[in-house]
A = this chain, B = another copy of it.
């Protein structure tokens, strides 16, 4: 297969990725700010750590430093416009919850609500942060997970016949998975 060189900054080689909406309390305004990121990853099993990248210029970045916690919320394919609107508006100017009529779900372990429309949300307690290039990686320890009933099977795997998760492709484009292509191979220990 022929291959060609591409400039590192000119190719979204790392997409598609799940759209992850980060929720942070804005105590001064009495609301919760929600912003979509695609640069996010689990980082550890034990303890369960999950990391999200936020630019220091964002309102969310400022709020995470103040509250020391955040929620991560995952959307389905019907919510691409919501994700795009959450990215378009800035929490500095607008209460997105009011502007977009968002329903919140109260927290269970911490103090930050999650997005009720998400098929799954996790409450994260900020453990550390690392400045990496033009972003800050916020590392949260997962304290609680709330899932839409029936969204995950008894092994904790997403039920692709029930949920079509929203993935980002870059440059304003979104896609979901093809549930008919799920294949299962025997699980063994990683090398």
Contact = CB atoms under 8 A, between A and B. Distances in A.
B191 A16 contact: no
Contacts of A43: 39, 53, 132-133, 135, 137
Interface string A66-98: 000000001001001100101111111000100
Given A14-B42, A16-B18, A41-B41, A146 B184 contact: no
A185 B158 contact: no
Copies in the assembly, this chain? 2
A113 interface: no
Nearest to A186: B172
Interface residues of A, number: 106
B42 A105 contact: no
Interface in A121-159: 121-122, 128, 130, 132-135, 137, 139, 142-149, 152, 155-158
Given A122-B8, A157-B170, A170-B156, A132 B2 contact: no
B185 A80 contact: yes
A157 B173 contact: yes
Interface of A: 1-18, 35-36, 39-51, 53, 55, 58-60, 74, 77, 80-81, 84, 86-92, 96, 105, 108, 116-117, 119-122, 128, 130, 132-135, 137, 139, 142-149, 152, 155-158, 160, 164-165, 167, 169-179, 181-191
22 contacts: A1-B116, A3-B147, A5-B145, A8-B48, A8-B144, A11-B156, A13-B152, A16-B167, A43-B53, A45-B135, A49-B132, A51-B137, A84-B185, A87-B188, A87-B191, A88-B188, A91-B191, A92-B191, A96-B191, A167-B177, A175-B181, A175-B183
